[in-house]
Structure 1
């Protein structure tokens, strides 16, 4: 496996390092004309993706007409920023699709989880309950729009884990 240019190694043969286009380590940085004003923008596209992970303003060159050329330091910063944007999107998606609440019961705390499965043809959710020892008490299929709250979890437990809805 070739060394990465980002970690100080030699560039790969497929790398591109042009003033307005850099392709390296699974990322492409492209300097483009900013459609909103007279300036320039840079877009960062992760290999295999159709849409940019990041689009932001780009610095004008010394002539105040053309963009400043891309360089290693700028590319490295752009990769770090675009990677963080993707990481935040993944965290947000995970938070939307996976919820958890803990309910106190006579036998101890029960953790109820809701995992939404955004299937194109059959979206659904899996509602599960686990006791303090980590033993699964129940697992049922639920509607993908089921709202997991302390109250709905307590009601599900009271109903002896019957499928909601």
Structure 2
């Protein structure tokens, strides 16, 4: 970045003043090496790809034990060493890794919270299954809501209860009694 002119300063003094891009604390925490970047809570590390002769990059979010993203990395001009990391590549990797984490969170949420819309007893029902994945005693809650969103019934069921339109309808027609587990 070009030096900032300072009013009343000599031209020689203006050459020594630079505009700060980051705070000193941010600058101290940031690492910007050819194969290792750390900034804004993310670390990008270019590593040797164990599966072939190429290179890979892994993106690790601060505080997470596993990389959020591991993918191939471009070879440099010499066709032996990896292309160095740079700001645009790092920003793209952060965006991609963030999207991967968001999709993972959405999938985890969808696996624990299921819904079925059914028509029974001359009305529409919204049936919800919310699974609580406790390590020792996992369980699920089956709820019935009417068309206005008012909860009319709720029972505790096994966490492996399969919510389908048929099972939801059967539960409604059975007077919202806790479903018995079908023998496999």
Residue 89 of structure 1 corresponds to which residue in structure 2? 104
The alignment status of 1:122 with 2:137, answered yes or no, reads yes
The 2-side partners of 1:42 and 1:30 are apart by: 6
The 2-side partners of 1:101 and 1:37 are apart by: 46
| Structural RMSD (CA) | 1.2
Residue 107 of structure 1 deviates from its aligned partner by 4.8
The 1-side partners of 2:161 and 2:120 are apart by: 22
Residue 80 of structure 1 corresponds to which residue in structure 2? 95
Q: How does 1:6-45 map to 2 (within 5 A)?
A: 10=22, 12=26, 13-45=28-60
The alignment status of 1:159 with 2:174, answered yes or no, reads yes
The equivalent position to 2:65 in structure 1, one of 50, 55, 72, is 50
Q: Structure 1 stretches of 5 or more lacking a match?
A: 1-8
Larger radius of gyration: 2
The 1-side partners of 2:93 and 2:156 are apart by: 42
TM-score between the two structures when normalised by the length of structure 1: 0.91
Task: Count matched residues.
Answer: 157
TM-score between the two structures when normalised by the length of structure 2: 0.82
Q: Which has the higher contact order (CA 8 A, sep 6+)?
A: 1
Runs of 4+ in 1 over 2 A off after TM superposition: none
